[in-house]
Amino acid sequence: MTTRSIHHWLTGKWNSHSDQRHARRFSALPAADRVSLYETRLSVIHTRRGCPAAGAAGCRAGRVRSVGGHPLLDLTSIEADDVEAFLSGLGVVFVVHRGHDSGNTSAAVEIDGRRWFVKWATDPEAVSHLKSAVRFHTTVSHPAIAALRGWFTLPSGMALIHDWITGKVLNDPLVPGGVPRADPRSAFARFRRLDLRENLAAVSTVFDVHRAAADQGFVAVDFYDGCLIYDFGRHAVRLCDLDCYRPGPYILDRDRQYGSTRFMAPEEFRRGAQIDERTTVFTLGRAAFVLLSNGQRGEQARSLWRGSDTQYRVAQTATQADPTRRYQSVAELCRSWRSALSQ
Ligand SMILES: Nc1ncnc2c1ncn2[C@@H]1O[C@H](COP(=O)(O)OP(=O)(O)O)[C@@H](O)[C@H]1O
Ligand SMILES: [Mg+2]
C-alpha cells in the first residue's frame, strides 16, 4: 500500500465502490497495521466531527453528524447506569428489549416527535461489541443500514443512539409480540408470503450493504435474519445489529465464531482459520437461501428454491464449502447476482 493510498483512505477519500485496489492492498497488510490504521482513520474522522479524543475506544462520546442542539445527541455521559430511567425523563419510551444473548438492553424512545433506538451495556464483553459498532458505523454507511447517530458513556459502560427503524425484525422471538419464525404469524413467514420480486429485492439490498462494508475492508460477523427489519408498508429492508463486523481478514481465535449456524461458513467453526471476504460471501449465499427457500432453515434443495435456475446457481457458488470455489469477493457475488436477476 503506498503512502498516497493510505493518505487517501485516512482522509476519507477512499470511499468509492470502484476502488477495490486499495481494499485489496489494505487487506494484505498485517493485522496489527490494519488495526492501527483504522484507529488513525477514526481519530481523523472524529476530529473533523468535533470530537477531539482519538479512536473509537478512546472517544468518550460522539455523534456521527451534527444536527444542532439535541437532548439525546448532545449527551456525552450520564451519571447512572439506568439508561431506561434516563430516557424516560427525556421522552416516551415505547419498547424495551431485554434478555438478549448479546448482554445489551435496548429501548425505543420518542422525543419531540422523533423516534430513536438506544442500545446499551455494562458487561465488558458487550461493551467491547458496542465499541466495535462505533468503529463499523463511523467507517461504513449505506442507506439500508440503521444509522448510528451518536454514543455516550455510562458509569460502567456505554450506549449507542441509532435512528429508529419502522418495521418488523424477521427473526427475534424475544421482541415484544414476537413469535418463532416457523409460526405462520411470524414476520419471517409473512415476509416469505410476499411477492417473489420483493423477496429478491430484499436479498439484493442485503448484498449491496455487504459490498459497502467489504469496500471498507469489513467482514460480516454474526449476521442472521435477526439483523433484518422489514417494513411491510414501504417494502423496504433495513439492517441492524452489525456490531461485531470487523476489519478482515482475521484469524479466528475461538472454537466457533458468534452467530447463527444457518448463516455461518465452515471456517467459522475452526479455531485458527482465516476469515475473509469469502466468508462474507458464504454468509450472503446462506442469506439468499434462508430468504428464498421454502424450507424452514434455508435448505438448499433446488425443489425448495423460489427463484430462477441462474439465481440458484449464484447462491450455490457462494455457499461452496471450499472458499477457493466461492466468489472471491462480495463485489463479484453482487455482479453475478445482478446479472442473474436480469435474465
Ligand atoms: N434501529 C432500530 N430501530 C428499531 N428497532 C431496532 C433497531 N435496531 C434493532 N431493533 C430491534 O431491537 C432488537 C434488539 O436489537 P439488536 O440490535 O439486535 O440488539 P442486540 O445487540 O442486543 O442483539 C432487534 O431484534 C430489533 O427488533
Ligand atoms: Mg440482535
CA distance linking residue 203 with residue 169, whole number of Å: 15
Ligand 1 pocket residue status of 165, Cβ below 6 Å: yes
Ligand 1 pocket residue status of 162, Cβ below 6 Å: yes
Q: Ligand 1 center to residue 240 CA distance, Å?
A: 6
DSSP 117-138: EEEEE-SHHHHHHHHHHHHHHT
Q: Whose CA is closest to atom 27 on ligand 1?
A: 169
Q: Ligand 2 center to residue 327 CA distance, Å?
A: 28
161 contacts 72 by C-beta, under 8 angstroms:
yes
User: pLDDT (tens digit, 0 to 9) for every residue of the chain, 343 residues total?
Assistant: 454 555 455 444 443 333 445 555 655 665 555 555 555 554 444 444 444 333 343 345 666 554 457 889 888 999 999 999 999 999 999 999 998 889 999 999 999 999 999 999 999 999 999 999 999 999 999 999 999 999 999 999 999 999 999 999 999 888 888 899 999 999 999 999 999 999 999 999 999 999 999 999 999 999 999 999 999 999 999 999 999 999 999 999 999 999 999 999 999 999 999 999 999 999 999 999 999 999 999 999 999 999 999 999 999 999 999 999 999 999 999 999 999 999 9
Whole-number pLDDT of residue 178:
87
CA distance linking residue 236 with residue 268, whole number of Å: 30
Ligand 1 pocket residue status of 97, Cβ below 6 Å: yes
* Contact residues for 56 (Cβ-Cβ < 8 A; gap 6+): 39, 42, 131, 132, 134, 135, 138
Ligand 1 pocket residue status of 133, Cβ below 6 Å: no
Pocket test for ligand 1, best of 72, 172, 228, 240 (most atoms within 8 A of CB): 240
CA distance linking residue 38 with residue 70, whole number of Å: 29
Ligand 1 pocket residue status of 105, Cβ below 6 Å: no
Ligand 1 pocket residue status of 172, Cβ below 6 Å: yes
Domains of the chain listed by start with CATH number: 1-59 (no CATH), 60-164 (3.30.200.20), 168-341 (1.10.510.10)
Q: Whose CA is closest to atom 11 on ligand 1?
A: 169
Residue 155, all three cell numbers: 458509569
CA distance linking residue 162 with residue 145, whole number of Å: 10
280 contacts 265 by C-beta, under 8 angstroms:
no
* Ligand showing the shortest atom-to-Cα distance for residue 106: 1
